[in-house]
Amino acid sequence: MNEKLKVFLTQILALLSLVIAINLFAFIAIKFGFLNSEYSMAGCTVIGVGAYLIYLYTLYKDKKRKRFLEILEYVETFNENIYENLEIGNENMPILEIFISNFIEEVEKIVKKGLVYSYINKSENIYYFKGKLDLTNHIKYNFIENRFFMNFDEFSVSSIENCLIKLALEKIKNISSDMENKAKIYQLLVYFENIESSGMIPAHLFRKLLIDRKNGFYKKSLDLAKFFLLDESPYSVFYNDEREITGLFFPMEIIYESYIANKLKEVIDNKFSIKIQDNSYKIFNKCEVGGKEVKNNITFFKLKPDIVVEKEKEVIILDTKWKELKSSKENEIIYNFGISKEDIYQMITYIHVYNSKIKNEDNNKFCNKAYLLYPINNNEKLPLENDIVFSGENGLKVRACFVDLSSEKNTMKSLKKILETIK
């Protein structure tokens, strides 16, 4: 029997059992004079059925919520404590507050260990020599005044790491509605009081950020800070209660990609080798400007497919796409099933470059297949479930496949099915 049908029948049976039990109870109550009419029996039935339907709705909502958090476990940033925190008493806590709580925990660890200091480059107009004289600005500002415009490095607590943490704390201070979280945020801000973060742009700071052995213990807190400070994709098919996730931005493309890559590693057998975020090849080998070759700081447009699967003689490209394709209703036409031409062109580029490069390395090897992996989540919508295969000359194939995210079991089943088509 189909799993979904089994669950549905179980719920119907439970509802019928509840109705019978309520009616039996009401009948006995009427006989002994506790209830005075059949209307009371009907009222009991309505109340009981209503309560059960509310229970089912809550169960369904909570299931989606937990599933989303399960998937987050496969993303490096969250794999230790997100779902664990849900299980230890935060079942009713909004998802946003769970993330805020986890961020607070990480910042508390930093405070206990001690904030990192680093050398910050500064330019100031001062009365004494310090560092190097900025001659241009010195002439500009100090033609008459007895000052020196100096450029120097200062060992300061206002490091990039601390600035980002402070900016994140200031943001979640205005987002959080949990009194305990709010109290902890205000306590932590005391430790960051002397850090100069005003006017700083988080995106610029993240680009300058370098994680090394000295500041490695900041990594988790900074990864979480990104979710509060950077405006990334705010949509989740798993849990879309805007009242709960307002102000929190999930980069679902990254989460989905990471989850699928990790689950593929679990189901793939020894007939295949697998590479994640492979950057072995680039589109161009050379760049010239005005006839002169440019070498410095040029990537020549490196390719970076999400997943590369390799068999003995064949290389297959897999790329995750965070978008739900819809099946057409009667008399409705959806152009190319909703698959964008940009996705197809991207796959064709992967195939062309990989095929060319690997043939140069081994003439017996080839690459002429690419897979687009789209999510389905068993919503009220009508998802596509059957693969869509586009074929061209010389064995060229681009296949759109669908991964059922509604449960761990269904996800594994979907991925095994995809691997079967590769074999």
Over residues 47-103, the pLDDT tens digits come to: 555 554 554 444 455 566 677 777 777 766 554 544 454 443 455 566 777 778 888
> CA triplet 417, 419, 420: central angle to 5 degrees?
65
363-393 burial, b at 16+ Cβ within 10 Å, e below that, comes to: eebbbbbbbbbbbbbeeeeebbeeebebeee
| Predicted local distance difference test score (pLDDT) of residue 333 | 58
The three-state secondary structure class of 357 is: helix
Over residues 364-421, the pLDDT tens digits come to: 889 999 999 998 865 445 456 688 899 988 889 999 999 988 888 889 999 999 988 8
pLDDT surpassing 90 at residue 189: yes
CATH code for 252-422? 3.40.1350
State mean pLDDT over 143-148.
Answer: 68
What is the dihedral sign for C-alpha 96, 99, 104, 105?
Answer: positive
Contact assessment for residue 224 and residue 249, using Cβ atoms and an 8 Å cutoff? no
Contact assessment for residue 305 and residue 318, using Cβ atoms and an 8 Å cutoff? yes
Residue with tokens 């080998």: 285
| Predicted local distance difference test score (pLDDT) of residue 110 | 92
Q: Identify which of 196, 173, 179 has the alpha carbon closest to the alpha carbon of residue 103.
A: 173
| Predicted local distance difference test score (pLDDT) of residue 33 | 62
What is the dihedral sign for C-alpha 205, 206, 212, 215?
Answer: positive
> CA triplet 300, 301, 302: central angle to 5 degrees?
100
**What is the Cα–Cα distance from 36 to 224, expressed in whole angstroms?**
60
Give the start-to-end residue ranges of the domains of the chain: 3-72, 92-117+157-245, 252-422
Residue with tokens 């709705």: 57
pLDDT surpassing 50 at residue 239: no
pLDDT surpassing 90 at residue 290: no
Q: Identify which of 194, 199, 129 has the alpha carbon closest to the alpha carbon of residue 156.
A: 194
Tell me the percentage of the chain whose pLDDT exceeds 70.
61
Residues in the chain: 423
- Whole-number average pLDDT of the chain: 75
Residue with tokens 């206990």: 112
* Residue 257: φ, ψ to 5°: -60, -45
Pick the residue with more confidence: 123 or 305? 305
Over residues 332-355, the pLDDT tens digits come to: 556 677 788 899 999 999 999 999
Find the Cα–Cα–Cα–Cα dihedral 375, 379, 385, 390, rounded to 10°.
-50
State mean pLDDT over 122-126.
Answer: 66
| Predicted local distance difference test score (pLDDT) of residue 301 | 83
179: buried, middle or exposed (CB in 10 Å: 19+, 13-18, 0-12)?
exposed
State mean pLDDT over 216-231.
Answer: 81
Tell me the percentage of the chain whose pLDDT exceeds 90.
19
398: buried, middle or exposed (CB in 10 Å: 19+, 13-18, 0-12)?
buried
| Predicted local distance difference test score (pLDDT) of residue 186 | 94
- The DSSP secondary-structure symbol of 89 reads T
* Residue 403: φ, ψ to 5°: -110, 120
Over residues 15-58, the pLDDT tens digits come to: 566 666 666 666 666 666 655 655 555 555 555 555 545 544 44
pLDDT surpassing 70 at residue 135: no
Residue type, 245: I
Residue with tokens 């081994």: 362
pLDDT surpassing 50 at residue 244: no
| Predicted local distance difference test score (pLDDT) of residue 344 | 92
